[in-house]
């Protein structure tokens, strides 16, 4: 068994709590579905947001999901690099798995697809 990191990112159009929570939930659901794991397989989830997301903690969305109540969550600010993608939520899900690194599916949604077009392309090809 290995501890693997699964990356994911998404964006929101507005700094509004409901939109942030919905986007975070959608991203985590997509990561879970693409990688086939259960909450008890998770070591922790590290969440970062760009400095223009202040309406709520994205971790709130995860804490309300059934089975995720005991998963350690941590929110932080993303490094504020000039001209970086605005209104972006990133997840690093650390999971215990027997999968190899190459079997892990990283997920990028909405405008965040621009962050890693190489991974988006690989994910799309694997889904075919």
**Residues identified as active-site:** 7, 63, 75, 78, 90, 108, 116
Buried/exposed code over 27-42 (b: 16+ C-beta within 10 A; e: otherwise)? bbebbbebbebebebb
Which tokens go with 106? 């990283």
Which tokens go with 105? 């599916």
Which tokens go with 69? 């109540």
Distance CA 79, CA 69 (A): 28
Residue 51, number of CB atoms within 10 A of its CB: 12
């Amino acid at each position: 068994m290995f501890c693997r990191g699964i990356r994911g990112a998404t964006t929101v159009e507005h700094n509004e709590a409901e939109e942030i929570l919905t986007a975070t939930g959608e991203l985590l659901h997509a990561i879970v579905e693409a990688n086939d794991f259960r909450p008890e397989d998770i070591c922790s989830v590290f969440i970062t947001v760009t400095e223009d997301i202040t309406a709520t903690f994205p971790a709130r969305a995860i804490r309300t999901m059934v089975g995720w109540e005991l998963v350690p969550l941590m929110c932080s600010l993303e490094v504020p690099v000039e001209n970086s993608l605005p209104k972006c939520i990133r997840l690093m899900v650390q999971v215990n798995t027997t999968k190899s690194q190459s079997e892990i599916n990283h997920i990028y949604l909405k405008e965040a697809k621009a962050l890693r077009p190489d991974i988006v392309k690989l994910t799309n090809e694997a889904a075919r």
